[in-house]
């Protein structure tokens, strides 16, 4: 019998007295795809960080290909043949794609220590081809879209002949095309004898791709077995400890005729063109489109983060012209941004600080208040955190950086809920979030809508939009190309609209 690719023996880890992992004993057979699932904060990333030498375990040991594996740092893990695709992308925005791909080891270095640029460019080009990214290799990474950055991160890991590749939520910002390509790449690698660890909150995906499944809950191993033993329902039961019948809560809100947000003819040259729509009281309006179709840009303009050259925005009968975010917030808008690390949170600040940031004045009772009401903030932040089931050890001292990905997302939403928004713009609100939490976020949306708020929800998951929205707008190439009422929801037509106006269909990552 060949020795297992990886074995964990009683691995535990504690952060500030909080158990992240307790006594994990687990073996991963070689040449298989191992799917790991678990709620946000279950310890998936922590387990992988231990394997990748980024975190040292408190107790326990590991073996890799039969050899003891005790990495002192990421470089050791790389030497042991482990490649890591990080959940929070680990790229250098100031460097080109080539530099990012080879930053810890360029393909050819001559005796003087000089790099062979030609060779590096060639290898980089090849690596990009395999993941289907068609960009010049010297493009700066900060100029890429999140989707393209994700592909660079993947290319970096698969390009180095690793025996074990860890993919920590690699698909969360990919569109369907790229996902499919990644999956076939994963199959190829597995067939070539590589072991892959695949972490995702899309349980269908995990079930489809994996040979074995591992389920974690609260830092403990709940179950593991071959994929034939699992269904999505069983995974959910193991993950959350109870049954969840529906993935989507029943709709409770009914849109009224009152218009909350009216947008007419909003244009920003080269970005968006003549956008007009209305958001009604109690309505959940979906905005579907491929990545790079101008959805996020539209949201930023509505919220006053970017200027527009023409058009009108009226929020609750107040025209917003050349407005700043502060005015938007005052008019009842809230904006859950897509990128939580760079725009959503202050990573170094405490949970309480983050939650209160947008609503400092509301919590103090008046818009012109200059004082911070510490007690009100503490009470409200605890309450919102409880409503959202945000898992955190200590609101005053734990920093946002130390939350799991899903809990960070809940934190961003919590921050905006504190402002009592009437018009809530959500940009990819469920990215990287577990099924239970997704359900909770949909419920929050429902409740807000039932309470008379209007919600604009941007997403690239058509299924989620059709399940939750009253109406869906489809955007493509900076224009709105379709407006579907709930009765007209039709996947094919919507997808068709999403590709309209693109000269070459498919390949949205390619520009």
Partner 1 sequence: MNMTAQKNRILLAALRNMPIILFVGLFLCFGVLAPDFFRYQSIENAVKQASYVGIVAVGMAFVLLTGGIDLSVGSNMYLSTVVAGLCIQRFALSPAAAFVICIGAGFTFAMTNAFIVTRLRVVPFIATLATLVAGRGLGRMLSQSRAISFPETITRIGSARLFDVVPYPIVLFALTLLAAWIMLHRTQWGRQIYAVGYNLESARKAGINTVRIRAIAYVVCGVFASFGGFISVAQLGNVNAGFGRGSEFDAIAAAVLGGISLFGGIGSIFPGVLLGAVMIQLVSTGLVSAKVDLYLHSMISALIIFAAVAIDSHRTILLKKMQQRHIRIE
Partner 2 sequence: MSGLRTRCTTLLAWLVADHFILVLTAVYFLVMWLIYPHMAGRRNLANLSSNMWPLMILVTGQMFVLLVGGIDLSQTSVMAVTSVIGSMIMTSRLDPAKFEHNPLWGVILSENGGLLAGHAMAVPAAVVLMLAVGAGIGLINGLATAKLRMPPFMVTLVTMSFFSGFAIYLTQSENIMHLPDSFIRIGKGSLGPVPYAMVLALLISLAAWIILNRLVLGRWLYAVGMNLKTAAVSGVPCAGVIVFAYVFSGFCAAAGAILYSARLEAGRPTLGQNLLLDIIGSAVIGGISLFGGKGKLRWAFYGVVFFVVLDNSLNTMPLNYYAVDIIKGAVILMAAVLDVVRNRLNQTGQISVGT
Quote the least distance from Cβ 125 to partner 1, whole Å.
18
Beta carbons within 10 angstroms of residue 7's beta carbon: 20
* DSSP per position, 208-260: HH-SEEEEEETTEEEEEEEGGG--HHHHHHHHHSS----SSPPP-----S-EE
Tokens 């968006």 belong to residue: 272
Binding range to Mg ion, per CB under 5 A, among 80-88, 186-194, 214-222, 502-510: 80-88
User: Cβ(43)–Cβ(31) under 8 Å?
Assistant: no
Tokens 């600080």 belong to residue: 353
User: Cβ(173)–Cβ(459) under 8 Å?
Assistant: no
Beta carbons within 10 angstroms of residue 372's beta carbon: 12
Closest CA to 158 of 190, 136, 204, 203: 190
Residue 116 binds which entry of Mg ion, partner 2, ligand ATP, none, CB below 5-8 Å type-dependent: none
Residue 402 binds to ligand ATP (criterion: CB under 6 A): yes
Residue 104 or 463 having the CB closest to partner 1: 104
Residue 117 binds which entry of partner 1, Mg ion, partner 2, none, CB below 5-8 Å type-dependent: partner 1
Quote the least distance from Cβ 210 to ligand ATP, whole Å.
16
Residue 396 or 401 having the CB closest to partner 1: 401
Residue 342 binds to partner 1 (criterion: CB under 8 A): no
Quote the least distance from Cβ 150 to ligand ATP, whole Å.
15
Position among 32, 46, 328, 362 found at the interface with ligand ATP (CB under 6 A)? 46
Please enumerate, as own/partner, the contacts of 154-158 that have beta carbons within 8 Å and a separation of 24 or more.
Answer: 154/85, 154/182, 154/185, 155/101, 155/124, 155/127, 155/128, 155/130, 155/131, 156/83, 156/85, 156/100, 156/101, 156/127, 157/83, 157/84, 157/85, 158/83, 158/127, 158/130, 158/131, 158/185, 158/189
Residue 286 binds to ligand ATP (criterion: CB under 6 A): no
Quote the least distance from Cβ 398 to ligand ATP, whole Å.
7
Residue 87 binds to Mg ion (criterion: CB under 5 A): yes
Quote the least distance from Cβ 405 to Mg ion, whole Å.
5
Quote the least distance from Cβ 243 to Mg ion, whole Å.
24
| Contacting positions for Mg ion (CB under 5 A) | 45, 87, 405
| Contacting positions for partner 1 (CB under 8 A) | 54, 73-75, 77-78, 84, 86, 90-95, 99, 103-106, 109, 113-115, 117, 143, 270-273, 292-294, 297, 477-479, 501-503, 511
| Contacting positions for ligand ATP (CB under 6 A) | 15-16, 20, 38, 40-46, 87, 391, 402-406
């Amino acid at each position: 019998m060949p020795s297992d690719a990886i074995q964990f023996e009683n691995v535990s880890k504690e952060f500030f007295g909080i158990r992240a992992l307790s006594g994990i004993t687990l073996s991963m057979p070689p040449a298989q795809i191992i799917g790991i699932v678990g709620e946000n904060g279950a310890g998936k990333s922590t387990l992988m960080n231990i394997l990748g030498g980024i975190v040292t375990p408190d107790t326990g040991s590991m073996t890799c290909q039969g050899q003891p594996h005790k990495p002192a740092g990421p470089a050791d893990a790389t030497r042991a043949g482990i490649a890591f695709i990080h959940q929070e992308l680990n790229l250098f925005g100031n460097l080109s794609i080539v530099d990012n791909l080879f930053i810890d080891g360029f393909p050819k270095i001559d005796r003087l220590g000089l790099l062979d640029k030609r060779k590096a460019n060639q290898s980089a080009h090849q690596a990009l081809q395999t993941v289907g990214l068609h960009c010049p290799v010297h493009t700066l990474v900060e100029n890429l879209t999140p989707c393209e950055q994700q592909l660079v991160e993947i290319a970096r890991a698969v390009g180095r002949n690793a025996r074990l590749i860890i993919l920590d939520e690699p698909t969360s910002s990919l569109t369907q095309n790229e996902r499919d390509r990644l999956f076939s790449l994963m199959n190829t690698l597995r067939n070539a004898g590589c072991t892959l660890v695949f972490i995702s909150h899309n349980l269908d995906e995990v079930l489809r791709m994996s040979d074995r499944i591992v389920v974690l809950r609260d830092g403990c191993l709940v179950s593991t077995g071959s994929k034939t033993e699992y269904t999505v329902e069983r995974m959910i039961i193991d993950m959350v400890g109870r049954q969840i019948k529906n993935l989507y809560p029943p709709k409770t809100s009914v849109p009224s005729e009152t218009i909350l947000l009216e947008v007419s003819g909003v244009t920003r040259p080269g970005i968006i063109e003549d956008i007009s729509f209305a958001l009604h009281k109690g309505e959940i309006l979906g905005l579907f489109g491929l990545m790079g179709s101008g959805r996020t840009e539209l949201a930023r303009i509505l919220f006053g983060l970017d200027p527009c050259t023409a058009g009108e925005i009226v929020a609750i009968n107040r025209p917003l012209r050349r407005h700043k975010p502060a005015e938007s917030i005052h008019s009842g808008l809230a904006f859950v941004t897509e990128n939580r690390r760079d725009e959503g949170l202050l990573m170094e600040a405490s949970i309480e600080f983050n939650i209160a940031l947008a609503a400092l004045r509301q919590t103090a009772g008046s818009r012109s208040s200059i004082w911070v009401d510490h007690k009100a903030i503490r009470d409200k932040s605890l309450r919102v955190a409880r409503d959202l089931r945000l898992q955190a050890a200590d609101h005053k001292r734990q920093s946002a950086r130390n939350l799991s990905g899903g809990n960070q997302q809940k934190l961003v939403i919590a921050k905006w809920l504190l402002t009592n928004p009437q018009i809530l713009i959500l940009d990819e609100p469920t990215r990287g979030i577990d099924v239970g939490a997704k359900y909770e976020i949909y419920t929050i949306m429902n409740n807000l809508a039932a309470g008379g708020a209007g919600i604009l929800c941007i997403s690239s998951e058509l299924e989620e939009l059709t399940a939750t929205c009253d109406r869906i707008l489809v955007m493509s190439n900076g224009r709105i190309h379709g407006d579907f009422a709930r009765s007209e929801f039709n996947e094919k037509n919507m997808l068709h609209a999403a590709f309209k106006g693109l000269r070459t269909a498919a390949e949205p990552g390619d520009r």
